[in-house]
Chains A and B, each alone.
Chain A
Amino acid sequence: MGRIPNEIIARIAALTKQKSPSLPYEVGHVEHPQEREHHGLGDLELPLGLPLGLPLGLPLGLPLGLPLGTVHEWMTRDDLDSHGEEWLAPHGVMIELAWRMVRLDEVRLIAWIGRRTWPAPRAMIDAHGSRDLLARSIFVDTHSNNRTSERENRIWAAQQSLSCDGTMVVVWDASGFDMIASRRMQLAAMRTEDRPPVLALAVRPWRERTTLSAAATRWAVCAHSPHSQTTESIECEHLNSMHEHRPTWKAELLRGRGSIGNDAAENRKFFRATWSWSGG
């Protein structure tokens, strides 16, 4: 779940000579291996996470980034944007997270389960024209002619993909998944010794925001205007450099299990992601 063991926190505190009560958040410094090397903590074996570059003190409870080996649910806040479609997945944030994993891992693949999760391929090309993400993506259409329902196919395909050693990111359409199905996904995504960790991302419609699930975090994504600054939220332009006229999203942590998001739920903290790409 991305929690840092107490002995490691004590060791960091001893090294940095800090005794701040917000120390677990201060260790956001060490979420990236290079940063750990720089701080002389290169030999630390920390729980794996996808570095998000969150600012220090942001009380999300994600000091090492988005934890791997657990399920994270994402939903687009305003379903009215779907314009005739039933609902839309937050493709921009999914692409950004997948790109971050592609840069960390040079071999494994990304699985997009369910047609609703498929982004337009042109949008998966980055600003430099690199097609790495597109070339390493496998798109699974769960509408088949067999006797099983489409939902059962989605559950089965997502479980197979999470259990595969060759996948590093699995994005699946979790609409209609109940607690049992989400627990199956969580169990399949859990990290084992003989399997590398996987980033498990489930996308759901906004109407299922109160559905019970076993996911570690639940996020709401909505479009964000750079001109509408609010005083209640903490904005962090961490993902990429901001641009005046570029699609921008705001992700809000709705719910977290364990230590994740306990403070954030009270203070309604936000962080903002920018989709920075010029081609595609």
Chain B
Amino acid sequence: MSLPINTSNNAPRNTAAQRRLLAIVLPHWSVDCARRSARQRGQRITEQTIMLIIRSHGGIRTVCACCQRASRCGIRPGMALAHARVLSPPRRIEEEEMQKRDMALLRACAIWCQRYAPITMIESTPGPAAIIVDITGCERVHPCEIRLMNRVVDELAARGVSARVATASTAAAAVAIAQSSRQSKANSNATINLEGCSVRALRIDRDAIDSLAQVNVRTIGELSKLPRTGATIRYGSAVLRRLDEALGFAAEYLQPIRSMPPPSMERVFDGPVTNLEGIQLSVRFLLDALCEQLNERIRGGREFELVATCADAPASSVRLTLGAPSCNAKHLANMFAPMVERINMGVGVESIRISVLRMGRRGAGEAVGEWVDTLTARLGNRGVFRAGFVEDHRPAHSIRWIPVSQSGFALRIATRDAMVKAVSAWRPSHQFMRPEQVIVSAPYAARIVLRGRSVAIRHWVGPERIVSSWESSQTDNSEGCDFWRAEAEDGRWFWLRQAQSGWTLVGIWS
């Protein structure tokens, strides 16, 4: 029997007349999420670390998900934790309390998958997490399905997510094939038939799978040969409905994921309010609700806007920009508090609306971002700096202090800047704001006079000629100076400048 559906994952090209769906099955989603969150907390988790997600029920701890490495050791979901410990001592065990987080992350992953096609869905049937991408009509963008599937697997793997992919004309068939395939990457030489897939891949109830196994029905091909009337009575209508969905005989109900706009909360008062404490309290309530929404999306707000509608004055708005995305209501309330005090309330505020203008991914820098925000709020934008390094050979021009509020604090700047080869020249740890005159008879002199005191010099290093840049030399006609490092007898090191006007002390290794 041949099933009337194109279910191979080696279709070379799409055809416009046919519906094509890409299934992304994430067999170790819970473990991948746990590993990701552990890394974000700064814990050292490698791919080799055996991770188990366990469930405690009635005093019995069972494995409900495990990583690929644990699977290779023989650990299976449903196994007792004590049994799993015997097979392989796990390095890390996480309690199953993060299902809500996993679902939110799956939704975020589905939105992320909209880069491949505009319509994505989450497969809701029981089984490993799966995302469906409707790639119908996307053949001009993705002419080769094999290449698209390999790209999806590679890009998810780069983000620490293991995935199996397949394409088919129906979502159920694509999911079944992806779940049954043993290789994560698509192979143009391999042909997987829906007939040979296990009935487990149809994502039906475990009881139905066990019942079918008792009559030696283990594959979808064998299931399709059963008389429909008897099968419905014995195994339930869900089994055949799922089979029909896979074969394209029944319509599938898939709900597309839509990316939601940034959240916004509003409170309308019964009348004009002039009490500042009441307004601050309302702001806090609104921020609590807003942060709860952000938390559900696993996002943080980077830029907020508070609009207060007044009875007799134009609406006042204040904007808050944070150093790093945050969903900490207490921190946001502290940041908003001085701004709310400055709002012109007129005869009273009628309503308050707080909107998130810009969202971002929360990460390890959240605590640092809040710290920087707090410092900036008190000391001003010119109070917190990062050091910018300009590739300029002149000592006075090679430093640039960049306010954090301008640079947009992010740790990735650090990694990008790191490990860049610098000019191999010593510079003092402290440069004086006003260079001080020094009496030096000649280079390599045994003594110099510094602030009226004679200092014995043991060692001279130099000169290092530093000339002005061509544009400044054209205007001020300066020719540059010679710089020397001088080591005193007592171990002090000086950075001296020799110019036509004389010798000056410009820096010291303190």
Which residues does A use to contact B, with CB under 8 Å?
76, 80-81, 83-85, 88-92, 95, 107-109, 119-125, 128-132, 134-142, 144-146, 153, 156-157, 160-161, 164-167, 222-228, 245, 247-250, 275, 277-280
Task: Report the separation of the CA atoms of residues A225 and B492 in the bound assembly, to the nearest whole angstrom.
Answer: 8
Q: Is B235 an interface residue (CB 8 A)?
A: no
The binding surface of chain A is classed by DSSP as loop
Which residues does B use to contact A, with CB under 8 Å?
42, 364-365, 367-368, 370-372, 374-375, 378-380, 382-387, 389, 395, 398-399, 401, 404, 411, 413-415, 417-434, 436, 450-451, 458-459, 461, 487-493, 505, 507-510
Distance in angstroms from B463 CB to nearest chain A CB is: 15
Question: Within 8 Å CB of A88, what residues of B?
Answer: 430, 508, 510
Task: Report the separation of the CA atoms of residues A189 and B507 in the bound assembly, to the nearest whole angstrom.
Answer: 33
Question: Within 8 Å CB of B490, what residues of A?
Answer: 223, 225, 228
Task: Report the separation of the CA atoms of residues A222 and B487 in the bound assembly, to the nearest whole angstrom.
Answer: 14
Contact indicator A90/B425 (Cβ below 8 Å): no
Task: Report the separation of the CA atoms of residues A161 and B375 in the bound assembly, to the nearest whole angstrom.
Answer: 9
Question: Within 8 Å CB of B426, what residues of A?
Answer: 277-280
Distance in angstroms from B175 CB to nearest chain A CB is: 38
Task: Report the separation of the CA atoms of residues A4 and B277 in the bound assembly, to the nearest whole angstrom.
Answer: 51
Question: Within 8 Å CB of A138, what residues of B?
Answer: 372, 384-386, 404
Distance in angstroms from A148 CB to nearest chain B CB is: 8
- Other than the given A119-B430, A139-B386, A228-B490, 16 more pairs (CB < 8 A) read A81-B492, A81-B508, A83-B436, A84-B432, A84-B434, A88-B430, A108-B368, A122-B389, A130-B418, A135-B418, A138-B384, A160-B371, A160-B375, A164-B371, A167-B371, A279-B423
Task: Report the separation of the CA atoms of residues A124 and B459 in the bound assembly, to the nearest whole angstrom.
Answer: 24
Task: Report the separation of the CA atoms of residues A91 and B427 in the bound assembly, to the nearest whole angstrom.
Answer: 13
Q: How many A-B residue pairs have CB under 8 A?
A: 181
Contact indicator A130/B419 (Cβ below 8 Å): yes
Distance in angstroms from B379 CB to nearest chain A CB is: 5
Distance in angstroms from B384 CB to nearest chain A CB is: 6
Distance in angstroms from B504 CB to nearest chain A CB is: 11
Which 4 residue pairs are nearest across A and B when measured between Cβ atoms?
A166-B368, A135-B414, A225-B491, A223-B491
Contact indicator A245/B371 (Cβ below 8 Å): no
Within the complex, which residue of A84, A135, A247 is in contact with B436, where a contact is CB–CB below 8 Å?
A: A84
12 interchain pairs, CB-CB under 8 A:
A120-B399, A121-B399, A134-B389, A138-B385, A140-B379, A144-B383, A153-B379, A223-B493, A225-B488, A245-B459, A248-B491, A278-B426
Within the complex, which residue of A95, A121, A144, A277 is in contact with B378, where a contact is CB–CB below 8 Å?
A: A144
Distance in angstroms from A216 CB to nearest chain B CB is: 23
Contact indicator A123/B434 (Cβ below 8 Å): no
Within the complex, which residue of B380, B422, B461 is in contact with A125, where a contact is CB–CB below 8 Å?
A: B422
Residue among A95, A119, A120, A140 with the highest chain B CB neighbour number at 10 A: A120
Given the interface pairs A92-B510, A131-B419, the reply to whether A227 lies near B389 with Cβ below 8 Å is no
Contact indicator B384/A83 (Cβ below 8 Å): no
